[in-house]
A and B are shown apart, each in its own frame.
Chain A
Amino acid sequence: MAPKLPLHHPVEQSSTANAGGQAAAHPAPRYGIKRWLLTTNHKEIGSLYLIFSLTMFFIGGTFAMVVRAELFQPGLQLVEPEFFNQMTTMHGLIMVFGAIMPSFVGLANWMIPLQIGAPDMALPRLNNFSFWLLPVAFTLLLSTLLMPGGGPNFGWTFYAPLSTTYAPPSTTFFILSLHIAGISSILGAINIIATVLNLRAPGMRMMDMPLFCWTWLITAFLLIAVMPVLAGAVTMMLMDINFGTSFFNAAGGGDPVLFQHLFWFFGHPEVYIMILPAFGIVSAIIPTFSRKRLFGYASMVYATGAIAILSFMVWAHHMFTVGMPLTAELFFMYTTMLIAVPTGVKVFNWVATMFRGSISFEPPMLFALAFVVQFTIGGFSGLMLAISPADFQYHDTYFVVAHFHYVLVPGALFAILAAAYYWLPKWTGHYPNLRLAQWHFWLSVIGVNLTFFPMHFAGLAGMPRRIPDYALQFADFNLASSLGGFLFGASQLLFVWLIIKCVRGGEKAPAKAWEGAEDLEWSVPSPAPLHTFEHPPTFRHESK
């Protein structure tokens, strides 16, 4: 029989109780700044990642607020168009590479060793290196805004020749910052794969792992496969800009469209890198608050694998209007539609998990439920965009903006918020203020839908993306989007307040903070001691 969630795992609590028992082996500065700079502990590095990504979330969010303020009404009122372009570009880059990706890595750092009964990540020093590359990379990226000619202004997809021939001088620094961030991602992913494959508790088979570990394993594979391709593409940009090569210059025999192929060969797996860990989170939370096992565990694993494989075969659906042979249009249209099948399996399984469950609606569950509904909306608009002839109408309109924000904000970001509320008791030993968290949830849901739902209509009516001014008939849609954006942005301050309160105090959480939670992390005390599972627990998978 397929193994199930580990309902019975006689954990050797003795090993976790005497945390610090190996203090002699860890002569670590436990206080002061050095503790954070030099740490090799997966929990501390996880916290660093999470704090870093929250900071980036607010910086990228501020850029989004500038964009929404400018678009509040037609006409140019607040910022110069050149600066507007830098804001849309930096918003995208910061949110993708600085907020969403590192927050998932932070969650992986914290939770994967706890979920598989490992003492730490497989390569702890490398883990610290992966993290500290990020502040270097993003300081450099943000500093381009202050350089002569301004920062990146060509959209987060940085298509050549906008990003080569017509780019500001700071583009070279932008490229180098992406290199550093890319190295961080690759090394982090290597660490996660080595941890998952090598450090599982004795007796825990691959198919016994919580789904979060599975989805992260597959995500890490995607990262290692495509981040180097991005590095190659930006290196070609660097050479075209500074050394006179002709990769993206047709006059020399190159092709600007080549850039788009390289970018999206990275870019499409990249969007799954930003959603697969979210699937894992939701697959942990829904069973907990439905007080049932996850429906179709094995099919979830296979569906994740199928999505990962397909992600390498769909990239040109971002390029339907660029001018491709008809066979390519058809091939990429059909492969893209195929992705709906494994994704549908997942949504079905989440719903089936809840069916006849004993559901309660704590904040993690609220965010997870909103994820399922709203991610599905984003998935459906993705299906619409996958239809090549229809895409000629939607391409580069606000419909595309609505689509990817639905999968990224009420999708990926809501899953991250759900994860934060779900695991905060394990991290801090305190429950967050559940009532305030409900306020955060409802304000976020209203804000996010008010922001992004009208964008579908603006896009279908023909409003182009990445433009600081627009025709009068789009005014009402944009007014709604801006108001929603401000509401959503402001309500995230509540989240910061909640976290600070939760770190400093609150209702004490027991080891098993949620009644229906069954994974291995709930067997260690709350807050989890600095060192857990120094001697691996014996994991007994359930067989029938």
Chain B
Amino acid sequence: MSGGSYYVPATSKWPILGSLALGTMLVGFGMILVHGLNGLMMAAGFVALLTVMGLWFRDVIKESRSGLYDAQMDRSFRQGMAWFIFSEVMFFGAFFGALFYVRTFALPWLDGEGAKGVAALLWPDFTASWPLLDPPGDVSGAREVLSPWQLPLANTLLLVGSSITLTVAHEGLKEGLRQTTRNWLLVTVLMGFTFIALQGVEYYEAYHHYGLTLEAGIYGSTFFLLTGFHGAHVIVGATILTVMLLRILRGHFAAQDHFGFEAACWYWHFVDVVWVGLFLFVYVF
């Protein structure tokens, strides 16, 4: 609640172009799925969306660097980012909720346990287990369970480690040690993309050695949706951090005023925390 004048931007063409780009991308996606069309429309929408986002953020960065934003504006951005991350938490919550519901209720009931065990009448031979390798109906499951102590453990160390290196970079920025910031941010970005590469290796192994696919019953469904959406978020987060690295190289951000950088850190830590949840409940337990 400052007494100054809050910055209200002039008209902008990015919002409407962004919504059209998003619509094009999603309709293009639907066209692939429903009508078997090629991905041209979706790709065009995606490129347009990225372009609009880039130009929109460029405007914001310009305004910020020309001193149009005051402390109140800064608080608006903080509110916006915090609540955006909360919405992401709830999005992952839906998939974790599905996982817990299936493991705690649906599968034991199909096996004849508990209050609704009458569901066992559907497939009397079914035995519940987790991870579920042998689904009850005419769905073939995975051959083997992924071990948490190989690639997933390495990925956990990578991602948790990257949160630490990012914090070092952030502290460096606050102390005015821009060399430190640059170096540790670079390390963080590399760790992020290494994580993605390892995740790609794991998906390859899951499909080709473990028989774990999207079609492999509820184990495959929950595994790929949870790790897949997380992986997509890591890609987004690592891209944001790359942009932050470029901005650092260009001399952006002051020691006391660098919310863009801080927001990227928030996002990265959020992605990290989600991974810890994934490691525990998708892989270990």
Contacts and interface: CB of A to CB of B under 8 A. Distances in A.
Nearest to B12: A125
17 contacts: A35-B11, A40-B9, A119-B5, A120-B6, A128-B16, A180-B19, A189-B83, A194-B80, A198-B79, A199-B1, A228-B93, A229-B93, A231-B91, A245-B215, A253-B219, A258-B101, A262-B94
A193 B79 CA distance: 8
A472 interface: no
A11 to B, nearest CB: 15
B86 A136 contact: no
A180 B122 CA distance: 38
B74 to A, nearest CB: 10
Contacts of A101: none
A272 to B, nearest CB: 16
A448 to B, nearest CB: 35
Interface in B69-117: 72, 75-76, 79-80, 83-84, 86-88, 90-95, 97-98, 101-102, 105-107, 110, 114-116
A123 B135 contact: no
B225 A245 contact: yes
B26 interface: yes
B3 A129 contact: no
B116 A228 contact: no
B251 interface: no
Given A28-B10, A194-B79, A251-B136, A125 B56 contact: yes
Interface stretch (B27-35, B157-165, B195-203, B264-272): B27-35
A136 B135 contact: no
A173 B26 CA distance: 8
Contact of B214 (A120, A125, A244): A244
A250 B34 contact: no
Interface of B: 1-3, 5-6, 8-16, 18-20, 22-23, 26-27, 29-30, 33-34, 56, 72, 75-76, 79-80, 83-84, 86-88, 90-95, 97-98, 101-102, 105-107, 110, 114-116, 119, 122, 132, 135-139, 141, 214-215, 217-222, 224-225
Nearest to B72: A198
Interface of chain B, main secondary structure: helix
B120 to A, nearest CB: 11
Contacts of A199: 1, 6, 72, 76
A28 B91 contact: no
Contact of A247 (B20, B30, B98): B98
Interface in A436-481: none
A245 B224 CA distance: 9
Contact of A224 (B90, B92, B136): B90
Given A253-B135, A265-B97, 19 more contacts: A40-B12, A123-B76, A125-B12, A132-B20, A176-B30, A180-B22, A194-B76, A197-B79, A199-B72, A227-B87, A228-B87, A228-B88, A232-B94, A236-B225, A246-B139, A251-B137, A252-B135, A261-B97, A324-B116
A48 to B, nearest CB: 11
For this complex, into which size category does the number of interface residues on chain A fall? 35 or more
A344 interface: no
Given A224-B90, A243-B214, A255 B34 contact: no
A195 B5 CA distance: 15
A225 B86 contact: yes
A198 B75 contact: yes
Contacts of B3: 202, 535-536
Pick from B80, B97, B215, B221 the residue with the most CB of A within 10 Å.
B221
Contact of A228 (B91, B98, B132): B91
Q: Please give me the 10 A-B residue pairs with the lowest Cβ-Cβ distance, nearest first.
A: A251-B137, A232-B94, A325-B115, A253-B218, A129-B15, A228-B91, A245-B221, A255-B106, A136-B23, A38-B11
A39 interface: yes
A34 B16 CA distance: 11
A250 B110 contact: yes
Interface string A20-36: 00000111110000110
